[in-house]
């Protein structure tokens, strides 16, 4: 009856165990050759000036969304872009 068990391979070993050992070998080899992936994340802005710039930019975004005419929207969008650059510089 054990020969009909789908989890056993031809030689009677468990297929899941074989797969796990093959996967572990691949992972170990990749880490040795390529190394672990290290992510460099930016720190959160702690400066009050930066947060003030972010809030000003948010207010300008609301102004862009609420603009009624194309001219008003274009002018507000230009201010928003300039403020966005300043926020990214900070």
Per-residue pLDDT 10s for the chain (90 aa) are 455 555 565 666 788 888 999 999 999 999 999 888 888 888 887 788 888 999 999 999 999 999 999 999 999 999 999 999 988 887
Rounded-to-10 torsion of CA 17, 23, 29, 31: -120
Nearest in space to 84 (alpha carbons), one of 48, 56, 42: 56
Instruction: Cite the beta strand spans of the chain per DSSP E.
Output: none
Is the whole-model pTM more than 0.85?
Answer: no
Contact assessment for residue 83 and residue 53, using Cβ atoms and an 8 Å cutoff: yes
Domain boundaries, the chain: 2-34, 48-89
Which pLDDT does position 1 carry in this prediction?
Answer: 44
SS3 8: strand
- Enter the tokens of residue 47: 């400066």
Which pLDDT does position 57 carry in this prediction?
Answer: 92
DSSP 45: P
């Amino acid at each position: 009856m054990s020969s009909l068990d789908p989890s056993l391979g031809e030689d009677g070993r468990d297929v899941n165990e074989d797969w796990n050992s093959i996967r572990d070998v691949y992972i170990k080899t990749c880490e040795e050759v390529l190394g672990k992936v290290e992510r460099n994340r930016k720190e959160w802005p702690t400066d009050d000036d930066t947060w003030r710039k972010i809030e000003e930019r948010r207010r300008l975004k609301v102004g862009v969304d609420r603009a009624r005419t194309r001219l008003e929207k274009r002018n507000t969008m230009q201010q928003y872009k300039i403020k966005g650059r300043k926020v990214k510089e900070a």
